[in-house]
């Protein structure tokens, strides 16, 4: 079982600069420590009729307005897109309170994975506060479906477990399945390095829709009928499903508190992941537990 029961924060402010994979524009992201119980918020500047203003967007599923090839949060007419990689990384390392300043409408994609985000957090340093965390423990099965794609959350004591299956006709992707329990070390070595990917046949249609304008072989895996186009090839034989797990962790992190249970998905994506989190909240099939309850359970298992 893995859970850190105290709220965590970063020790110092850090920043990074890159391009948005869909917008293609440069963007700087700055991570700043926040107070306990403040949660995670994105802060953006935008131009209106009277000049420049600032808007805060909570990292919460209720703010999700688009799931087309990325998860986008919206408040009023201000958007922040592609938040899933950062949210997954914060979730894996148990960061509960953070203010994220962004000077664009999309987070930097870096190399298409969360590897650089892990390095950023490590450079910031992480410490535990004295405040206990709250967890959402799944009590009954919750599921959503679209065609033959589905996703569900089921009760499983201990932490967050992921079981993800993807199916692609492209033989260089095919059917891949990956299962694990989320821990910081496992995330850093086995999930974070997995890059976003796309099929060569879909690239032009994405460009026509104004998407993937910043995509290159330096920040995305492109897979054609003859194999992967990237000179360095795959980082893992099943890199594609691992990246889907990364995306799912980011979407689940938008619930607003860590989830205890098992997430199982078959051909899911941002839309179904979001709908599942929303269904969990609306169904009430969970109860909130405090960090000290997890402590007591751990002690009981040791005593037994």
User: Whole-prediction pTM value?
Assistant: 0.93
Q: Give the rounded percent of residues in the chain with a pLDDT score beyond 70.
A: 93
Residue-by-residue DSSP string for 217-230: TTTSEEEETTEE-S
Q: Which pLDDT does position 302 carry in this prediction? A: 45
Q: Are 16 and 173 in contact (CB under 8 A)?
A: no
Structure tokens given for 146? 């679209």
45 or 54, which is more confident: 54
CATH fourth-level superfamily of 6-303: lpxc deacetylase, domain 2 (3.30.1700.10)
Chain-wide mean pLDDT for the chain?
A: 93
262 vs 291: CA distance, rounded Å: 19
Q: Give the rounded percent of residues in the chain with a pLDDT score beyond 90.
A: 83
Catalytic residues: 270
Q: 298 pLDDT exceeds 60?
A: no
The C-alpha torsion from 77 through 277 and 158 to 195, rounded to 10°, is -60
Q: Which among 78, 120, 61, 32 has a CA at the least distance from the CA of 250?
A: 61
Q: Residue ranges per domain, the chain? A: 6-303
Q: Which pLDDT does position 304 carry in this prediction? A: 41
Q: Angle at CA 63, nearest 5°, toward 62 and 64?
A: 95
């Amino acid at each position: 079982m893995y859970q850190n029961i105290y709220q965590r924060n970063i020790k110092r402010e850090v920043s990074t600069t890159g391009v948005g994979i869909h917008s293609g524009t440069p963007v700087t992201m700055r991570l700043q420590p926040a107070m306990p119980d403040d949660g995670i918020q994105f802060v953006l500047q935008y131009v209106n009729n009277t000049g420049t203003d600032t808007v805060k967007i909570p990292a919460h599923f209720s703010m999700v307005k688009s799931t087309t090839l990325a998860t986008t949060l919206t408040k009023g007419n201000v958007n922040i897109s592609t938040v899933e990689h950062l949210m997954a990384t914060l979730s894996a390392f148990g960061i509960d309170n953070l203010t994220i300043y962004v000077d664009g409408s999309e987070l930097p994609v870096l190399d298409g994975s969360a590897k650089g985000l892990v390095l950023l957090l490590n450079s910031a340093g992480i410490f535990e506060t004295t405040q206990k965390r709250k967890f959402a423990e799944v009590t009954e099965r919750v599921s959503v479906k679209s065609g033959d794609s589905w996703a569900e959350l089921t009760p499983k004591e201990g932490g967050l477990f992921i079981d993800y299956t993807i199916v692609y006709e492209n033989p260089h992707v095919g059917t891949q399945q990956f299962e694990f329990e989320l821990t910081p070390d496992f995330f850093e070595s086995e999930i974070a390095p997995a890059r976003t990917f796309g099929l060569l046949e879909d690239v032009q249609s994405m460009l026509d829709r104004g998407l993937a304008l910043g995509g290159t072989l330096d920040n995305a895996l492109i897979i054609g009928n003859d194999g992967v186009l990237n000179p360095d090839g795959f980082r893992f034989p099943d890199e594609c499903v691992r990246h889907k797990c990364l995306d799912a962790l980011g979407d689940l992190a938008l619930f607003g508190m860590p989830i205890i249970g098992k997430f199982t998905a078959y051909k899911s994506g941002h839309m179904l992941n979001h709908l599942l989190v929303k269904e969990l909240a609306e169904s009430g099939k969970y109860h909130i537990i405090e960090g000290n309850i997890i402590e007591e359970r751990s002690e009981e298992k040791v005593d037994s």
